[in-house]
Structure 1
Amino acid sequence: MQITRDNYSQYAQMVQQMFRKRASSNDPLAQCDYGNFSLRFKPVDINFTKPNWDTIMTKRDKPAMSEEEFDEAIKELARKEFATGKRDDDAYRKLCMQHGETVSPDRKAIYESSMKKTGGKMNAACMFWDSKGNKTLSYNPESRNWKAISTDEEFARARVFTSIYNDELARLKEEYGEKAKGNVSYSKIKVDISAEESKEKNNNEGNTIDLQI
């Protein structure tokens, strides 16, 4: 389940029910109170899997590419998928993550700061907050899965990604037709784009007037 602002309560209730099944107070899971802010620095002796920051959105030292490069990469992804007729989930997920991380909070720093205060142990809330009290990262001790809790900025960024991607798919469908999906080659799409760009460049040059005095 992807944790969002809308379904957080549902997710929290599910985990709380999971913890209540632990009858023994000696069980580390029984000491957890999922999402309880007051327990954010209380350590518990549960075994946990450390987060893999290659798969969790967090602020990076620098963006994976420039905005212009992101725009082109998203369009290229749409073109390749249109040519094959198949969704490349791994490529889509990776590019969307890189694109979104330009506005992500530094979840890694938040996690490391919390771990210093708990002596390297998981906190009893299984949740990590930023300095303003916003939920940013959670851990499910049963599945051992980490979830980034998306911010409003990340949601807005994701909408930009989707818009660019869908607009390019719509353009390809209009140019080649719906039935061309999976039948037109990627190389033809690239050749046609290059031809169109050359045509526009020549038209612009033809409209240029040189004045000499």
Structure 2
Amino acid sequence: MQITRDNYSQYANMVQQMFGNKKNSNNPLAQCDYGNFALRFKPVDIQFTKPNWDNIMTKRDKSAMSEEEFEAAIKELAQKEFATGKRDDAAYRKLCMQHGETVSPDRKAIYESSMRKTGGKMNAACMFWDNNGNKTLSYNPESRNWKAISTEEEFARARVFTSIYNDELARLKKEYGENAKGTVSYHQIQSDLAAGTKAPSSGSTLDIQI
């Protein structure tokens, strides 16, 4: 069951019924109202797992790469996946996250600011807003999972990532053929790229180092 702003009270009642108890106003879960902005600083005593900022998009002190390095890394990822014929989900998620964080809000600072106001307890809304009232981060007390609520800037950034990635895959398919995926080595792709960008002069040999 997915918890939403509209069904949170229903979920709380269901939990109480499962344990054969009537709804108790002193029960921390019953005091929560998911996504209720008015409860953003009301502390409740529910147990929660602290966010792991290694897995949540947030503003960083320094970008992982320059724009040129990001573009090269995205293309390299597409090339490696084309060579193996398999999607590297972990590498894709990590690179996409690093790329997107260049425009991310400081979710960590927003979370810590809220926690100071609630005395280190989860707020009754199970959600965190920035100073402009924009949702940035939410916590699901059922699954104990955190979710970064994407901004328009992050969506736009993700489209840039996808465009570079898909364009490189399309180039590889055009160069090697639709059925070449998983049959052309990454070394071969790099060699062909080097040969295409560094044409040897007359009477010389091309020295390629991988």
Deviation at 1:14, TM superposition (A): 4.4
Deviation at 1:16, TM superposition (A): 4.2
| 2:10 maps to which of 9, 17, 22 | 17
Matches within 5 A, 1:116-131: 116-131=116-131
- Give the aligned partner of residue 207 of structure 1: none
Q: Matched residues in 2 for 1:178 and 1:16: separation?
A: 52
- Give the aligned partner of residue 208 of structure 2: none
CA offsets per residue over residues 100-136 of structure 1, 9 Å max, x none?
0000000000000000000000000000000000000
- Give the aligned partner of residue 185 of structure 1: 185
TM-score of the superposed pair, with normalisation by structure 1: 0.87
- SS of the residue aligned with 2:138? strand
- Give the aligned partner of residue 63 of structure 2: 63
Matched, 1:34 2:34: yes
Q: Matched residues in 2 for 1:86 and 1:121: separation?
A: 43
Q: How many residues align?
A: 194
Matches within 5 A, 1:1-213: 11-21=4-14, 22=16, 23-199=23-199
Deviation at 1:25, TM superposition (A): 2.0
- SS of the residue aligned with 1:12? coil
Distance 1:196 1:15, change over 3 A: farther
Q: Matched residues in 1 for 2:115 and 2:152: separation?
A: 26
Could you say what the CA RMSD is over the residues aligned between the two structures, in angstroms? Answer: 1.7
Q: Matched residues in 2 for 1:67 and 1:74: separation?
A: 11
Q: Matched residues in 2 for 1:14 and 1:188: separation?
A: 54
Q: Matched residues in 2 for 1:15 and 1:93: separation?
A: 30
CA offsets per residue over residues 51-88 of structure 1, 9 Å max, x none?
00000000000100000000000000000000000000
Higher helix fraction (1 or 2)? 1
- Give the aligned partner of residue 206 of structure 2: none
Q: What are the ranges of 5 or more consecutive residues in structure 2 without an aligned counterpart?
A: 17-22, 202-210
Confirm or deny: 8 A CA contact 2:4 2:34 kept in the other structure: no
Distance 1:158 1:13, change over 3 A: same
Percent identity of the aligned residues?
78
Q: Matched residues in 2 for 1:95 and 1:12: separation?
A: 32
Q: Matched residues in 2 for 1:113 and 1:15: separation?
A: 25
